[in-house]
Amino acid sequence: MRSGVVIFPGSNCDRDMIVALRQITGKTPIKLWHKENDIPNLDLIVIPGGFTFGDYLRCGALAARSPVISSIKNHISRGGTVLGVCNGFQILIEAKILPGSLIRNKKLLFTCRETTLEVQSCMKNPFLSGLKIGERLKIPVAHNDGNYFAPLDLIKKLKEEGRIAFKYSNSTNNEKNYNPNGSTEDIAGILSNNGRVLGMMPHPERAINYLHGGTDGLKLLTNCVEKIIG
Amino acid sequence: MKIVVNISLKEGVLDPEGQAIKASLNNLGFRNCSDVRTGKQIVLNFNQNNETETLSQAKKMCEKLLVNTVIENYEINILKD
């Protein structure tokens, strides 16, 4: 299992993601600098969270035009797997690898706390195949612009194609703020049309140890690695 | 020549910043303000004076980087000195 973690100026979850992948795969992922346009063959590329280029213009907009992105697009066209977390999800959207947009949180607050996700998708993909539909995972979020927004016809299409990976779940049934950002249909993560690219706002790499308060992130990432190794 | 690009959110796209400004204006007593929408302005300096060429380049810049056409509209104007 060869994995790589992309680093832009302003990435800040790259080390945590490297620790998580090393813990799962036993191998240290390679670091991919944003200026690289010739990257080796990898099984998994992760675009970690952060505030790339200071969130200037729009979150992820400048990172999405970096040289490394065309290599990532080639990796995807060869059937490669990509995970984008938080700012990584914003970058995948800005690069038009995933559809829709991520706008400012509804209440204008930077939200940093645990959320409960509910697995939605049944489509064949390496991220969720080992998990059950309706299964709940506790994974934290930390973002300012995670409000997934898309035209109604796109939301309908994503639903029909089973491309909504996770929704924020009202785990206690009376929790008012279970959705941390006001996203359409409580969407927390979506898949590409071939299921090999996942963008999600919550941070699985921040829930890989009991000291973090939970290990559901480890479960998700381990599942993904196992499915890729096949 | 100078080009000014005005970027605004499309109708129907939530503008929480605009809503927060509206609430604050209402608190200040401007109760007749029923909606606020925010946007941004980008000024581009070109070292050329061919209007058609410059406008066409500015349009390409908007589509490739400056604007997220999923949620934003834009307007390009020549800025007269």
Instruction: Show the tokens assigned to A114.
Output: 């645990």
Sequence-separated (6 or more) residues with CB below 8 Å from residue B43: B2, B3, B4, B5, B79
- Minimal-distance CA residue of chain A relative to B12: A151
Q: How many C-beta atoms lie closer than 10 Å to residue A195's C-beta?
A: 20
Judge: A101–B65 Cβ closer than 8 Å, yes or no: no
Q: Å from A106 to nearest chain B CA? A: 6
Q: A56, A57, A105: which to substitute to probe chain B, counting the most B Cβ within 10 Å?
A: A57
Partner B contacted by A126 (CB < 8 A):
no
B67 contacts on A by Cβ (under 8 Å)? none
Judge: A149–B20 Cβ closer than 8 Å, yes or no: no
Going along chain B from its start, the domains and CATH numbers come out as 2-79 (3.30.1280.10)
Task: Please give the pLDDT value at position B9.
Answer: 95
Sequence-separated (6 or more) residues with CB below 8 Å from residue B32: none
Judge: A150–B70 Cβ closer than 8 Å, yes or no: yes
Note the residue count of chain B: 81
Instruction: Show the tokens assigned to A220.
Output: 């998700």
Cα-flanking dihedrals φ and ψ of residue A200, to 5°?
A: -145, 145
Average of per-residue pLDDT values in chain A: 94
Task: Please give the pLDDT value at position A129.
Answer: 87
* E strand segments, chain A: 3-7, 30-33, 44-47, 81-85, 101-103, 111-119, 136-143, 147-149, 164-168, 187-191, 197-200
Q: Per-residue confidence at A108, pLDDT binned at 50, 70, 90?
A: confident
Q: Per-residue confidence at A173, pLDDT binned at 50, 70, 90?
A: low
- Measured over all CA atoms, what is the biggest interatomic distance in chain B, rounded to whole angstroms? 48
Q: Which residue ranges make up each domain of chain A?
A: 3-229
Task: Please give the pLDDT value at position A130.
Answer: 86
Judge: A101–B16 Cβ closer than 8 Å, yes or no: no
Dihedral sign of CA atoms A134, A136, A139, A140 in order: positive
pLDDT (mean) for B5-24: 92
Q: For A11-69, how does the pLDDT look when each residue is reduced to its tens digit (9 = 90+)?
A: 999 999 999 999 999 999 999 999 998 899 999 999 999 999 999 999 999 999 999 99
Q: Which of A101, A105, A107 sits opposite B71 (nearest CB)?
A: A101
**Rounded CA separation A206/A218 (Å):** 9
Cα-flanking dihedrals φ and ψ of residue A30, to 5°?
A: -80, 150
Which residue type does A23 have? Answer: Q
Judge: B17–A108 Cβ closer than 8 Å, yes or no: yes
Q: Which helix (H) or strand (E) holds A154?
A: helix A152-160
Strand partners, A33: A7
Instruction: Render A106-124 in DSSP notation, one character per residue.
Output: TTS--EEEEEEEEE---SS
Q: Which A residues 10-49 touch B at CB under 8 Å?
A: none
Best CATH choice for the domain A3-229 from the list 1.10.287.1080, 3.40.50.880, 1.10.1060.10, 3.40.50.300 = 3.40.50.880
Whether residue A155 has pLDDT greater than 90: yes
Instruction: Render A58-113 in DSSP notation, one character per residue.
Output: STTTTGGGSHHHHHHHHHHHTT-EEEEETHHHHHHHHTTSS-SEEE--TTS--EEE
Q: Which residues of A does the annotation mark as catalytic?
A: 86, 203, 205
- Minimal-distance CA residue of chain B relative to A90: B68
Q: Per-residue confidence at A171, pLDDT binned at 50, 70, 90?
A: confident
Task: Please give the pLDDT value at position A121.
Answer: 83
Question: So what's the ipTM on this one?
Answer: 0.84
Judge: B14–A182 Cβ closer than 8 Å, yes or no: yes
